[in-house]
Amino acid sequence: MEQDTLIIEGAGGKRLIRGTVQVNGSKNDAVQAIAAGLICRTPLKLENLPQIDDVSKMLALVERLGGEVKRGKRSASILPPANLAHPKLDEEIAEKIRASILFSGPTLARYGEVTFPHPGGCVIGERPIDFFLHGFRAMGARVVDEGKGYLIRAPRGGLRGATIFFKNQSVTATETFLMAALLARGETVLKNCALEPEIENLVNFLKSAGGRITGLGTTTLTIQGGKPLSPKRAYRILPDRIEAGSFAIMGSLLAEELKLTHCEPEHLEALLNLLGEMGIGVKRGKQSVTILAPKGELKALKVKTHEYPGFPTDLQAPFTVLLTQARGGSEVFEAIFEGRVAYAETLNRMGAKIEILDSHRLKISGPTPLQGQEVSSPDLRAGLAYLLAGLIAHGKTIVHNARYIDRGYEDIAHRLTTLGLSIKRA
């Protein structure tokens, strides 16, 4: 059995949890904050960093570029190299993490050139890079497809400001061009931007460091280019709303009462409202959420993923596990990523009754008891769904490729064990 294997003894439908779990810093906020270090002339200090694999890889990419990284327990300080002749992202690392694409904009804008491979990470349908190539060309850059990756060169004098319209709202593209535009010449206007809380946190920090950005809270951001920024404060990573949502779903399945602390309830509105519709008790605090066991059977419902503030695609797979325990027919429509419902075949092997209508839609009949199986994680969120399914199943579940889960959930086995669940790493 491999080291990245989790062994779970299922609760068999029993509610075993009564306790508290603390939500860690956001993976999605941390990776963009690390990339932002490349557009700063003085060290960028990061606080509330989660200790997860994606963060380690992003910090390693800074070091491989020649930057200095000082690590603390939940913090880091980043000082980028002053000059780079031919900056190239480390292929071995960048190919394993989708967020590596975030370095493309800041590196190109600051050093005039960047070479990077096709970004890796979870395989979730088609995740095109054309947003980025189109945007870089609009800013005057020359793009060379080298087969395994891309070489991009800024025009003489640096990137030029441009108006860029994203044909679909993209968090990563919004973040990448927001950072690149701060070092470009002139004004850049980004249209159809994503509205996630992590982008708001990034913009507020960049403005505090001297960035000139308007339009926060809207889908159009206007950026005035200039010189590298000088941070006047540390960048504090937001609580991870996806981790908080995952624990809320787990509590809905397994808890008599579970309190989530160090979170932002307003970032969880879409999920918490759906839990309430299903009959689950939800108490909101200032920086906490308490999940209470339903008084009757869980109610079936229809769910459609949507960009923030809608229901997040990253919670779709875990939420489907919850719907297998609801009375009646539920439906899931994955509106953002094609093929992000393939994990349902494995849940069916565990006893679920899920009809895969197409690459975007599921029809679920419940409630159905689940039976432990040996499964393999195909990606981060599906892996977490298998873990949740194993926790409520009868018997033993073995989850291979748990390294995918480690990308977004810190020390998951230990944290769940302290709540009274039976899970260990092989």
pLDDT tens per residue, range 27-59: 999 999 999 999 999 999 999 999 999 999 999
Q: Domain total for the chain?
A: 2
Does residue 217 sit in the same domain as residue 250?
A: no
- In this structure, the number of other CB atoms found within 10 A of the CB of residue 172 comes to 23
Does some domain include residue 251? yes
* 108-122, 178-192, 225-239, 360-374: the lowest-pLDDT one: 108-122
> Among 212, 236, 260, which residue terminates a domain?
236
Residues 293 and 159 occupy one common structural domain: no
Last residue of a domain, one of 215, 236, 257: 236
Q: Does the residue 272 lie in any domain?
A: yes
Residue given tokens 């980025």 in the structure block: 132
The whole-number average pLDDT for the span 391-408 is: 96
Instruction: Of 389, 362, 384, give the one whose Cα is nearest residue 373.
Output: 389
**Whole-number percent of the chain with pLDDT over 90:** 91
Residue 227: CB atoms within 10 A of its CB come to 11
Are 247 and 145 part of one and the same domain?
no
pLDDT at position 280: 98
**Assigned domain for 1 exists:** no
Residues 230 and 128 in one domain: yes
CA distance 386 to 396: 12
Residue 76 and residue 190 in one domain:
yes
pLDDT attached to residue 129: 84
User: Does any domain span residue 107?
Assistant: yes
CB neighbours of 139 closer than 8 A, spacing ≥ 6?
154, 159, 160, 161, 162, 164, 180, 181, 184, 188
Please check whether residues 129 and 252 belong to one and the same domain: no
| Structural domain contains residue 351 | yes
Would you say residue 88 lies in a domain? yes
Based on the fold, state whether residues 58 and 198 are members of the same structural domain: yes
Are 31 and 135 contained in the same domain?
yes
Which of 40, 122, 193, 263 is the catalytic position?
A: 122
Residues 125 and 32 in one domain: yes
Q: How confident is the model at residue 130 (pLDDT cuts 50, 70, 90)?
A: confident
Looking at the structure, tell me whether residues 176 and 257 fall in a common domain.
Answer: no
Whether residue 334 sits in one domain with residue 347: yes
Spell out the alpha helix ranges (H) of 14-168.
27-36, 53-64, 91-94, 104-111, 130-138
CATH of the domain at 89: 3.65.10.10
**Considering the domain boundaries, does residue 286 fall inside one?**
yes
Residue 115: phi and psi, rounded to 5, are: -120, 130
Domain that holds residue 400: 6-24+239-425
- Tell me how far apart the alpha carbons of residues 209 and 213 are, in angstroms, rounded to a whole number: 11
Can 40 be counted among the known catalytic residues? no
Task: Return the half-sphere exposure (C-beta side, CA atoms, 13 A cut-off) of residue 131.
Answer: 24
Residue finishing a domain among 236, 260, 290: 236
Q: Are residues 249 and 387 in the same domain?
A: yes
pTM: 0.95
pLDDT of residue 147: 84
- Interatomic CA distance for residues 6 and 12, integer angstroms: 18
pLDDT mean across residues, the chain: 95
Q: Radius of gyration of the chain from Cα atoms?
A: 22
Integer Cα distance of 67 and 78 in angstroms: 7
The C-alpha atoms of residue 202 and residue 213 are separated, in whole angstroms, by: 11
The Cα 85–Cα 93 span in angstroms is 21
Q: What is the pLDDT of residues 232-279, one digit of tens each?
A: 999 999 999 999 999 999 999 999 999 999 999 999 999 999 999 999
- Whether residue 367 is contained in a domain is answered as yes
Cα separation of 194 and 191, whole Å? 9
Cis preceding linkage at 367, omega within 30 = yes
Mean pLDDT to the nearest integer, 48-73: 96
Indicate the residue type of 229: L
